[in-house]
């Protein structure tokens, strides 16, 4: 499965439903639209500057979904998972940030606008992204948490994630009972 690494707390925000759109300065290949993608948390936090997010509405959002983030002096204390796949989700659309508008819910309006389709985002979605001009919102739907998070060594850009159970069998994360040759993690 193709995998993408996100810094925390954005990875867990995606896994816990605080956000559906990942904003990046580049557009992924349109061939990936419709595919389920593994969403991983990087092994390291972004920078000490992240501490600024430990206050205000982002911190409150995280508390709402069960994470504790606290800044004490220059140190950041948190219980966010690092270096693991936290969710999978289907990449359903890519919309340039100049076509993003605030709305009541997160949805794409495919009506032919002069400048292409429009992505409506809620205020919460908006504060969890970087919607400066020249960027792209990658919309994920049907996001399913990988719980507990699965350890994975990520990379920049796209990488391949091959999920395994605790015994090293290929791990079934699809719908329904595992197909032959796959393990649902119940072997241990
Ligand atoms: Zn197994």
Distance linking the first and last C-alpha atoms of the chain:
24
Cα 167 to averaged position of ligand 1 atoms, centre (Å): 5
Residue with the larger pLDDT of the pair 54 and 52: 54
pLDDT at 141 over 80: yes
Element (H, E) at 86: strand 84-96
Distance CA 23, CA 14 (A): 12
For ligand 1, a single-atom ion, the residues with CB < 5 A are 165, 167, 169, 183, 187
Return the pLDDT at 49: 60
Tokens of 40: 């991983």
Confidence tier at 188 by pLDDT (50, 70, 90): low
Residue with the larger pLDDT of the pair 187 and 188: 187
pTM for this prediction:
0.86
What percentage of residues in the chain have a pLDDT greater than 70?
94
String of DSSP letters for 136-155: EEEEEEEEEEEEEEEE----
Q: Where are the domains of the chain?
A: 2-96+130-157
Return the pLDDT at 122: 98
CATH annotation of 2-96+130-157 = 2.30.130.30
> Mean pLDDT, to the nearest integer, of 134-159?
90
* Pick from 98, 131, 152, 149: nearest CA to 19: 131
Return the pLDDT at 169: 84
Residue with the larger pLDDT of the pair 46 and 89: 89
Cα 62 to averaged position of ligand 1 atoms, centre (Å): 32
pLDDT at 117 over 80: yes
């Amino acid at each position: 499965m193709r995998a993408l690494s996100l810094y925390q707390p954005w990875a867990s925000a995606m896994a816990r439903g605080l956000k559906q759109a990942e904003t990046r300065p580049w557009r992924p290949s349109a061939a990936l639209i419709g595919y389920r993608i593994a969403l991983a948390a990087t092994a390291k936090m972004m920078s000490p500057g992240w501490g600024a997010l430990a206050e205000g509405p982002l911190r409150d959002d995280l508390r709402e979904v069960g994470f504790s983030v606290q800044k004490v002096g220059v140190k950041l204390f948190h219980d966010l998972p690092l270096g693991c796949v936290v969710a999978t989700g289907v990449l359903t659309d890519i919309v340039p940030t100049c076509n993003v508008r605030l709305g009541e819910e997160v949805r794409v309006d495919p009506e032919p606008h002069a400048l292409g389709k429009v992505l409506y985002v809620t205020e919460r979605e908006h504060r969890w992204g970087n919607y400066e001009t020249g960027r792209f919102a990658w919309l994920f739907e049907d996001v399913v948490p990988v719980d507990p998070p699965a350890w994975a060594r990520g990379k920049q850009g796209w990488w391949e994630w091959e999920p395994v159970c605790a015994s090293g069998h290929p791990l079934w994360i699809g719908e329904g009972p595992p197909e032959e040759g796959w393990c649902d993690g119940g072997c241990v």
